[in-house]
Amino acid sequence: MPPMEKAKKIWFNGEHVDWDDAKIHVLSHVVHYGSSVFEGMRCYETSNGPACFRLTDHVNRIYDSAKIYRMPIPHEKETLTSAICETIRINELASCYVRPIAFRGYGSLGVDPTPCPVDVVVAVWKWGAYLGAEALEKGASVRTASWNRLAPNTMPSLAKVGANYMNSQLIKLEAMADGYSEGIALDSSGYVSEASGENIFMIKNGAIYTPSSGSSILPGITRHSVITLARDLGFTVTQRAIPRESLYIADEVFFTGSAAEITPIAEIDHIPIGNGTRGPVTKQLQDAFFGITDGTAKDKHKWLTFVGG
Ligand code: PPE
Protein backbone atom coordinates (compact mmCIF):
# COMPACT_ATOMS: atom_id res chain seq x y z
CA MET A 1 0.00 0.00 0.00
CA PRO A 2 1.60 3.34 -0.97
CA PRO A 3 1.79 6.10 1.68
CA MET A 4 -1.43 8.00 2.26
CA GLU A 5 -2.13 11.05 0.13
CA LYS A 6 -3.33 13.86 2.36
CA ALA A 7 -6.59 15.59 1.54
CA LYS A 8 -7.39 19.09 2.81
CA LYS A 9 -9.98 18.88 5.58
CA ILE A 10 -11.34 16.35 8.04
CA TRP A 11 -14.72 16.66 9.75
CA PHE A 12 -14.05 16.41 13.48
CA ASN A 13 -16.99 16.56 15.92
CA GLY A 14 -19.00 18.90 13.75
CA GLU A 15 -16.29 21.12 12.27
CA HIS A 16 -13.91 20.88 9.38
CA VAL A 17 -10.29 21.08 10.52
CA ASP A 18 -7.08 20.94 8.52
CA TRP A 19 -5.86 17.42 7.77
CA ASP A 20 -2.77 17.87 9.98
CA ASP A 21 -4.80 19.21 12.90
CA ALA A 22 -7.19 16.25 13.20
CA LYS A 23 -5.52 14.86 16.32
CA ILE A 24 -6.49 12.99 19.49
CA HIS A 25 -4.84 12.47 22.87
CA VAL A 26 -2.65 9.35 23.26
CA LEU A 27 -4.68 8.40 26.33
CA SER A 28 -7.93 8.28 24.38
CA HIS A 29 -9.87 5.12 25.20
CA VAL A 30 -9.82 3.95 21.57
CA VAL A 31 -6.02 3.83 21.46
CA HIS A 32 -5.89 1.40 24.38
CA TYR A 33 -8.97 -0.74 23.88
CA GLY A 34 -9.82 -0.58 20.17
CA SER A 35 -13.15 1.08 20.93
CA SER A 36 -14.15 2.45 17.54
CA VAL A 37 -16.92 1.74 15.06
CA PHE A 38 -16.27 2.77 11.52
CA GLU A 39 -17.22 2.60 7.87
CA GLY A 40 -15.43 2.57 4.57
CA MET A 41 -17.07 3.45 1.31
CA ARG A 42 -16.09 4.77 -2.06
CA CYS A 43 -17.17 7.92 -3.79
CA TYR A 44 -16.88 7.50 -7.56
CA GLU A 45 -16.30 9.93 -10.37
CA THR A 46 -19.21 10.10 -12.82
CA SER A 47 -20.14 12.51 -15.58
CA ASN A 48 -22.67 14.01 -13.13
CA GLY A 49 -20.00 14.60 -10.48
CA PRO A 50 -18.86 12.55 -7.50
CA ALA A 51 -21.29 9.90 -6.27
CA CYS A 52 -21.12 7.91 -3.04
CA PHE A 53 -21.89 4.23 -3.38
CA ARG A 54 -24.60 3.05 -0.98
CA LEU A 55 -24.17 5.96 1.40
CA THR A 56 -27.35 5.28 3.38
CA ASP A 57 -26.44 1.63 3.90
CA HIS A 58 -23.00 2.56 5.22
CA VAL A 59 -24.45 5.18 7.55
CA ASN A 60 -27.01 2.67 8.83
CA ARG A 61 -24.27 0.11 9.44
CA ILE A 62 -22.12 2.42 11.57
CA TYR A 63 -25.16 3.13 13.77
CA ASP A 64 -25.82 -0.62 14.00
CA SER A 65 -22.20 -1.26 15.00
CA ALA A 66 -22.49 1.48 17.63
CA LYS A 67 -25.75 -0.01 18.94
CA ILE A 68 -24.12 -3.42 19.41
CA TYR A 69 -21.40 -1.74 21.48
CA ARG A 70 -23.82 0.51 23.41
CA MET A 71 -21.98 3.53 22.02
CA PRO A 72 -24.22 6.56 21.62
CA ILE A 73 -23.24 8.48 18.48
CA PRO A 74 -23.96 12.12 19.41
CA HIS A 75 -25.38 13.06 16.00
CA GLU A 76 -28.47 12.19 14.02
CA LYS A 77 -27.96 9.99 10.97
CA GLU A 78 -28.89 12.95 8.75
CA THR A 79 -26.10 15.06 10.29
CA LEU A 80 -23.49 12.39 9.64
CA THR A 81 -24.81 11.88 6.12
CA SER A 82 -24.53 15.59 5.33
CA ALA A 83 -21.09 15.72 6.97
CA ILE A 84 -19.93 12.96 4.62
CA CYS A 85 -21.23 14.78 1.54
CA GLU A 86 -19.76 18.11 2.71
CA THR A 87 -16.39 16.55 3.44
CA ILE A 88 -16.24 15.11 -0.06
CA ARG A 89 -17.23 18.47 -1.58
CA ILE A 90 -14.84 20.54 0.51
CA ASN A 91 -11.88 18.33 -0.40
CA GLU A 92 -12.62 18.73 -4.11
CA LEU A 93 -11.73 15.17 -5.01
CA ALA A 94 -13.36 13.67 -8.09
CA SER A 95 -13.28 10.27 -6.41
CA CYS A 96 -12.18 9.13 -2.98
CA TYR A 97 -12.49 6.62 -0.20
CA VAL A 98 -14.61 7.77 2.72
CA ARG A 99 -13.94 6.83 6.35
CA PRO A 100 -16.48 7.84 8.97
CA ILE A 101 -15.43 6.70 12.45
CA ALA A 102 -16.91 7.09 15.92
CA PHE A 103 -14.73 6.26 18.91
CA ARG A 104 -14.46 6.51 22.67
CA GLY A 105 -12.22 9.49 23.22
CA TYR A 106 -10.21 11.08 26.03
CA GLY A 107 -11.61 11.20 29.53
CA SER A 108 -10.67 8.22 31.60
CA LEU A 109 -8.86 4.91 31.18
CA GLY A 110 -10.01 1.51 32.35
CA VAL A 111 -12.19 -0.83 30.33
CA ASP A 112 -15.43 1.00 31.19
CA PRO A 113 -15.81 3.41 28.27
CA THR A 114 -18.78 5.36 29.63
CA PRO A 115 -16.80 8.28 31.16
CA CYS A 116 -15.26 9.02 27.74
CA PRO A 117 -16.86 11.18 25.08
CA VAL A 118 -17.81 9.64 21.75
CA ASP A 119 -15.91 11.52 19.07
CA VAL A 120 -16.94 11.37 15.43
CA VAL A 121 -14.72 11.96 12.44
CA VAL A 122 -15.16 11.82 8.66
CA ALA A 123 -12.05 11.67 6.52
CA VAL A 124 -11.66 11.18 2.78
CA TRP A 125 -8.61 10.45 0.71
CA LYS A 126 -7.62 9.09 -2.66
CA TRP A 127 -7.32 5.33 -2.55
CA GLY A 128 -6.39 3.18 -5.54
CA ALA A 129 -7.08 -0.51 -6.10
CA TYR A 130 -6.91 -2.28 -2.71
CA LEU A 131 -5.05 -5.39 -3.84
CA GLY A 132 -3.28 -3.63 -6.73
CA ALA A 133 -4.65 -2.57 -10.12
CA GLU A 134 -3.25 -5.71 -11.71
CA ALA A 135 -5.24 -7.97 -9.39
CA LEU A 136 -8.54 -6.50 -10.65
CA GLU A 137 -7.73 -8.02 -14.04
CA LYS A 138 -5.37 -10.88 -13.42
CA GLY A 139 -6.46 -12.01 -9.99
CA ALA A 140 -4.75 -12.09 -6.61
CA SER A 141 -2.59 -14.83 -5.16
CA VAL A 142 -3.83 -15.62 -1.66
CA ARG A 143 -3.42 -18.22 1.08
CA THR A 144 -5.69 -19.83 3.61
CA ALA A 145 -4.96 -18.18 6.94
CA SER A 146 -3.82 -20.22 9.89
CA TRP A 147 -5.87 -17.85 12.06
CA ASN A 148 -9.62 -18.35 12.28
CA ARG A 149 -12.07 -15.50 11.99
CA LEU A 150 -13.79 -14.36 15.18
CA ALA A 151 -15.73 -17.14 16.90
CA PRO A 152 -19.41 -16.38 17.56
CA ASN A 153 -20.04 -15.04 21.02
CA THR A 154 -16.53 -13.61 21.28
CA MET A 155 -16.35 -10.52 19.06
CA PRO A 156 -19.51 -9.75 17.06
CA SER A 157 -18.62 -9.98 13.39
CA LEU A 158 -21.70 -8.03 12.28
CA ALA A 159 -20.21 -4.94 13.91
CA LYS A 160 -17.50 -3.15 11.95
CA VAL A 161 -15.24 -2.15 14.83
CA GLY A 162 -11.59 -1.28 15.21
CA ALA A 163 -10.81 -4.18 17.54
CA ASN A 164 -11.92 -6.79 14.97
CA TYR A 165 -9.10 -5.62 12.76
CA MET A 166 -6.45 -7.03 15.10
CA ASN A 167 -7.64 -10.43 13.88
CA SER A 168 -7.56 -9.03 10.33
CA GLN A 169 -3.98 -7.87 10.86
CA LEU A 170 -2.88 -11.36 11.90
CA ILE A 171 -4.40 -12.71 8.69
CA LYS A 172 -2.92 -10.00 6.48
CA LEU A 173 0.57 -10.00 8.01
CA GLU A 174 0.84 -13.77 7.80
CA ALA A 175 -0.21 -13.70 4.13
CA MET A 176 2.25 -10.93 3.27
CA ALA A 177 5.09 -12.62 5.13
CA ASP A 178 4.61 -15.57 2.81
CA GLY A 179 4.42 -13.44 -0.35
CA TYR A 180 0.64 -13.50 -0.80
CA SER A 181 -1.50 -10.40 -1.04
CA GLU A 182 -4.29 -11.60 1.24
CA GLY A 183 -5.42 -14.43 3.50
CA ILE A 184 -8.73 -16.28 3.57
CA ALA A 185 -9.75 -17.09 7.13
CA LEU A 186 -11.96 -19.99 8.12
CA ASP A 187 -14.63 -19.68 10.80
CA SER A 188 -14.29 -21.46 14.14
CA SER A 189 -15.98 -24.56 12.64
CA GLY A 190 -13.45 -24.71 9.81
CA TYR A 191 -15.70 -23.38 7.04
CA VAL A 192 -14.69 -20.49 4.80
CA SER A 193 -15.40 -17.13 6.42
CA GLU A 194 -13.82 -14.06 4.81
CA ALA A 195 -10.52 -12.32 4.19
CA SER A 196 -8.91 -9.62 6.35
CA GLY A 197 -10.99 -6.92 4.66
CA GLU A 198 -13.13 -8.63 2.03
CA ASN A 199 -15.98 -11.09 1.62
CA ILE A 200 -15.52 -14.07 -0.65
CA PHE A 201 -17.59 -15.67 -3.41
CA MET A 202 -17.12 -18.84 -5.47
CA ILE A 203 -18.65 -20.01 -8.71
CA LYS A 204 -19.18 -23.67 -9.59
CA ASN A 205 -21.02 -24.88 -12.68
CA GLY A 206 -22.59 -21.48 -13.23
CA ALA A 207 -23.97 -21.13 -9.70
CA ILE A 208 -22.66 -18.63 -7.17
CA TYR A 209 -21.99 -19.34 -3.49
CA THR A 210 -20.89 -17.18 -0.57
CA PRO A 211 -20.60 -17.90 3.17
CA SER A 212 -23.67 -16.94 5.18
CA SER A 213 -23.71 -14.59 8.15
CA GLY A 214 -23.38 -17.72 10.33
CA SER A 215 -19.74 -18.00 9.24
CA SER A 216 -18.47 -14.99 11.24
CA ILE A 217 -18.46 -12.57 8.31
CA LEU A 218 -19.01 -8.88 8.11
CA PRO A 219 -22.12 -8.84 5.90
CA GLY A 220 -20.55 -6.58 3.33
CA ILE A 221 -22.45 -3.96 1.42
CA THR A 222 -20.49 -4.86 -1.71
CA ARG A 223 -21.40 -8.49 -1.02
CA HIS A 224 -25.07 -7.51 -0.96
CA SER A 225 -24.62 -5.47 -4.16
CA VAL A 226 -22.98 -8.41 -5.93
CA ILE A 227 -25.69 -10.83 -4.79
CA THR A 228 -28.29 -8.40 -6.16
CA LEU A 229 -26.49 -7.85 -9.48
CA ALA A 230 -25.87 -11.57 -9.92
CA ARG A 231 -29.56 -12.32 -9.39
CA ASP A 232 -30.46 -9.51 -11.81
CA LEU A 233 -28.24 -11.28 -14.35
CA GLY A 234 -30.10 -14.56 -13.77
CA PHE A 235 -27.58 -16.38 -11.57
CA THR A 236 -28.57 -18.31 -8.49
CA VAL A 237 -26.71 -17.17 -5.39
CA THR A 238 -26.66 -19.39 -2.34
CA GLN A 239 -25.43 -18.35 1.08
CA ARG A 240 -24.18 -21.42 2.89
CA ALA A 241 -21.30 -23.07 4.75
CA ILE A 242 -18.41 -23.52 2.31
CA PRO A 243 -15.72 -26.13 2.94
CA ARG A 244 -12.20 -24.82 2.29
CA GLU A 245 -11.46 -27.40 -0.39
CA SER A 246 -14.47 -26.39 -2.48
CA LEU A 247 -12.61 -23.14 -3.18
CA TYR A 248 -9.72 -25.13 -4.72
CA ILE A 249 -12.04 -26.89 -7.15
CA ALA A 250 -14.25 -23.89 -7.89
CA ASP A 251 -14.38 -22.47 -11.42
CA GLU A 252 -13.91 -18.93 -10.11
CA VAL A 253 -13.36 -17.23 -6.77
CA PHE A 254 -13.41 -13.52 -6.05
CA PHE A 255 -13.33 -11.03 -3.19
CA THR A 256 -15.74 -8.16 -2.61
CA GLY A 257 -15.36 -5.06 -0.47
CA SER A 258 -15.72 -1.31 -0.67
CA ALA A 259 -11.96 -1.00 -0.95
CA ALA A 260 -11.33 -4.22 -2.95
CA GLU A 261 -14.48 -3.76 -5.11
CA ILE A 262 -14.61 -7.06 -7.05
CA THR A 263 -11.15 -8.62 -7.11
CA PRO A 264 -10.67 -12.00 -8.78
CA ILE A 265 -8.54 -14.67 -7.11
CA ALA A 266 -6.07 -16.42 -9.38
CA GLU A 267 -4.67 -18.95 -6.92
CA ILE A 268 -5.16 -20.11 -3.36
CA ASP A 269 -2.32 -21.89 -1.53
CA HIS A 270 -0.58 -22.09 -4.95
CA ILE A 271 -3.50 -24.04 -6.40
CA PRO A 272 -4.77 -22.28 -9.54
CA ILE A 273 -8.48 -21.47 -9.45
CA GLY A 274 -10.11 -22.49 -12.72
CA ASN A 275 -7.55 -21.57 -15.34
CA GLY A 276 -5.66 -19.34 -12.91
CA THR A 277 -6.96 -16.00 -14.14
CA ARG A 278 -10.11 -13.88 -13.97
CA GLY A 279 -13.11 -15.96 -14.98
CA PRO A 280 -16.05 -14.92 -17.20
CA VAL A 281 -18.67 -14.65 -14.46
CA THR A 282 -16.36 -12.49 -12.33
CA LYS A 283 -15.82 -10.26 -15.39
CA GLN A 284 -19.56 -10.05 -16.01
CA LEU A 285 -20.16 -9.00 -12.40
CA GLN A 286 -17.31 -6.48 -12.50
CA ASP A 287 -18.80 -4.96 -15.66
CA ALA A 288 -22.22 -4.68 -14.04
CA PHE A 289 -20.75 -3.22 -10.85
CA PHE A 290 -18.35 -0.73 -12.44
CA GLY A 291 -21.04 0.25 -14.95
CA ILE A 292 -23.09 1.51 -12.03
CA THR A 293 -20.20 3.11 -10.15
CA ASP A 294 -18.91 5.01 -13.19
CA GLY A 295 -22.44 6.17 -13.99
CA THR A 296 -22.63 4.54 -17.44
CA ALA A 297 -25.21 1.86 -16.54
CA LYS A 298 -28.67 2.50 -15.15
CA ASP A 299 -28.57 2.73 -11.36
CA LYS A 300 -31.75 0.74 -11.01
CA HIS A 301 -31.30 0.03 -7.30
CA LYS A 302 -30.55 3.72 -6.52
CA TRP A 303 -27.16 2.98 -5.04
CA LEU A 304 -25.52 6.28 -5.96
CA THR A 305 -25.83 9.51 -3.99
CA PHE A 306 -24.54 12.49 -5.91
CA VAL A 307 -22.76 14.76 -3.50
CA GLY A 308 -22.80 17.86 -5.68
CA GLY A 309 -20.02 20.40 -5.95
N1 PPE B 1 -15.18 -8.16 5.63
C2 PPE B 1 -14.30 -7.39 6.30
C3 PPE B 1 -13.58 -7.96 7.44
C4 PPE B 1 -14.13 -6.06 5.88
O5 PPE B 1 -13.27 -5.30 6.55
C6 PPE B 1 -14.82 -5.58 4.77
C7 PPE B 1 -14.62 -4.17 4.32
C8 PPE B 1 -15.72 -6.42 4.11
C9 PPE B 1 -15.88 -7.71 4.57
C10 PPE B 1 -16.55 -5.95 2.96
O11 PPE B 1 -17.54 -5.05 3.40
P12 PPE B 1 -18.12 -3.90 2.47
O13 PPE B 1 -17.05 -2.88 2.36
O14 PPE B 1 -19.32 -3.42 3.20
O15 PPE B 1 -18.46 -4.50 1.16
N16 PPE B 1 -13.32 -3.69 4.50
C17 PPE B 1 -13.11 -2.27 4.45
C18 PPE B 1 -11.81 -1.89 5.09
C19 PPE B 1 -10.59 -1.94 4.31
C20 PPE B 1 -9.43 -1.38 5.11
O21 PPE B 1 -8.29 -1.85 4.89
O22 PPE B 1 -9.63 -0.47 5.90
C23 PPE B 1 -13.35 -1.72 3.05
O24 PPE B 1 -13.37 -2.46 2.08
O25 PPE B 1 -13.56 -0.52 2.95
> According to the 3-state scheme, what is the secondary structure of the chain?
CCCCCCCCEEEECCEEEEHHHCCCCCCCHHHHHCCEEECCEEEECCCCCCEEECHHHHHHHHHHHHHHCCCCCCCCHHHHHHHHHHHHHHHCCCCEEEEEEEEECCCCCCCCCCCCCEEEEEEEECCCCCCCHHHHHHCEEEEEEEEECCCCCCCCCCCCECCHHHHHHHHHHHHHHCCCCEEEEECCCCEEEEECCCEEEEEECCEEEECCHHHCCCCCHHHHHHHHHHHHCCCCEEECCCEHHHHHCCCEEEEEECCCEEEEEEEECCEECCCCCCCHHHHHHHHHHHHHHCCCCCCCCCCEEECCC
pLDDT in tens, 172-200: 999 999 999 999 999 999 999 999 999 99
Closest residue CA from atom 8 of ligand 1: 198
Distance 225 CA to ligand 1 centre (A): 13
Going by C-beta distance under 8 Å and a sequence separation of 6 or more, which residues neighbour residue 277?
138, 139, 264, 266
Query: In this predicted structure, what is the pLDDT of residue 309?
Result: 63
Query: In this predicted structure, what is the pLDDT of residue 103?
Result: 98
Site to substitute for ligand 1 among 194, 199, 215, most atoms within 8 A of C-beta: 199
Query: In this predicted structure, what is the pLDDT of residue 2?
Result: 77
| Low-confidence spans in the chain with pLDDT less than 50 | none
**Marked catalytic residue, from 8, 23, 160, 298:** 160
pLDDT in tens, 110-164: 999 999 999 999 999 999 899 989 999 999 999 999 999 999 999 999 999 999 9
Query: In this predicted structure, what is the pLDDT of residue 63?
Result: 98
Query: In this predicted structure, what is the pLDDT of residue 117?
Result: 98
**What predicted TM-score, i.e. pTM, was given to this entire model?**
0.98
160 is catalytic: yes
Contact 171, 196 (CB under 8 A): yes
Q: Which atom of ligand 1 is nearest to the CA of 160?
A: 5
Closest residue CA from atom 3 of ligand 1: 197
Distance CA 136, CA 130 (A): 9
Distance 108 CA to ligand 1 centre (A): 30
Closest residue CA from atom 19 of ligand 1: 197
User: Which protein residues are within 6 Å of ligand 1, measured from CB?
Assistant: 40, 168, 194, 197-199, 218, 220-223, 256-260
